[in-house]
Amino acid sequence: MADETHAHLTGAGQYDCSPEPLPTLRHSTAHLLAQAVMQLFPGVKLAIGPPIENGFYYDFHRDVPFSEEDLVRLEERMRDLAKADYPIVREERSRADAIRYYQERAEPFKVEILEALPPDVTRVSFYRQGDFVDLCRGPHVPSTGHIQAFKLLSSSGAYWRGDEHRPMLQRIYGTAWFTQEELDKYVWSVEEAKRRDHRKLGRELDLIMFHDVSPGAPFWLPKGMVVFRELERYARELQDARGYQEISTPILVNKRLWEQSGHWEHYSENMFKVEAEEQIFSLKPMNCPESTYAYRHGLRSYRDLPLRFSEMGRLHRSASTSSTWTRTTGRSGPS
């Protein structure tokens, strides 16, 4: 993954446009989506559209979210554009000309991308297909006719550059494959995953519920606790048979432990922080650092090894770019 400044040189993507065939196809499909959006929804502003694992997305600035009906219309227009088989042609412009081009078209996100490039970048590339042109490093497939097996999957909100203080954009996700067979297989797997989604099953079976008073964290209902306790019992049986001793460590821990473990330097943006009595604490995102305190509370000899501790702890992690909480359970491994 490229750093953000370099990645934005690619124009449409948050990631470098890979020369590998499948990411190239998917990035080209993101351009096809953007072309369809600009035709069906004039006035929408373009942001970025990278290939990602299993597909692609493109972010647009629009006052209202895209509906399911919008996605159907967009996919139909994309198929028309693919049938037209427009050549995808690379063009170059000076950076200054590119900035003026997007300023004249009131495309603030493209202007910001260009202005954030390093000073030594004097020329940038565009890719044109029919009436659509987009800032992009490339590469792309030779023409829109090479894009055949694709599907739009969903839409959601996403902050510009992952910053909640920046504009909210509308993100459309899709997938693209070389063959219809591969596409059908992937779409089937997505539908099966939805059918087995724990949030859906939890609601339908009256196991768990969610509420915005604690985003992302389940409220375990009576039937759910039956399942929860059975899983705990089974896990403890397996751990007991393998010589694990169970411990329990605090949920709230002083900052100095996370500094010592390295989490504060590399992971603090994903930790929930609490200030009390002029000190900084964090809800633990993992058990391992605390388990070391249980290990070192007394002298140890090599004769004590292997020493196996386990913990069924409650962990709290923050997906900071989307302001979503996650809460998981974790087990510390052998110490």
Longest pairwise C-alpha distance within the chain: 75
Confidence category of residue 319, pLDDT binned at 50, 70, 90: low
Tell me which residue has tokens 């943006």. Answer: 269
Q: Are residues 137 and 114 in contact, defined by beta-carbon separation less than 8 angstroms?
A: no
Residue 87 has pLDDT above 50, yes or no: yes
197-234, pLDDT tens digit by residue? 888 899 999 999 999 898 888 999 999 999 999 999 99
Sorted by sequence, the CB contacts under 8 Å of residue 206 that are 6+ apart come out as 221, 223, 224
Cβ atoms within 10 A of the Cβ of 253, count?
21
User: What pTM was estimated for this model as a whole?
Assistant: 0.66
Domains belonging to the chain, first-starting first, are: 4-193 (3.30.980.10), 197-241 (no CATH), 245-335 (3.30.930.10)
In 3D space, the residue among 327, 328, 330 whose CA is nearest the CA of residue 216 turns out to be: 327
Q: What is the mean pLDDT of residues 263-284?
A: 93
Complete DSSP assignment for 154-196: EEEEEEGGG-TTSPEEEEEEEEEESSHHHHHHHHHHHHHHHHT
Per-residue pLDDT, 320: 46
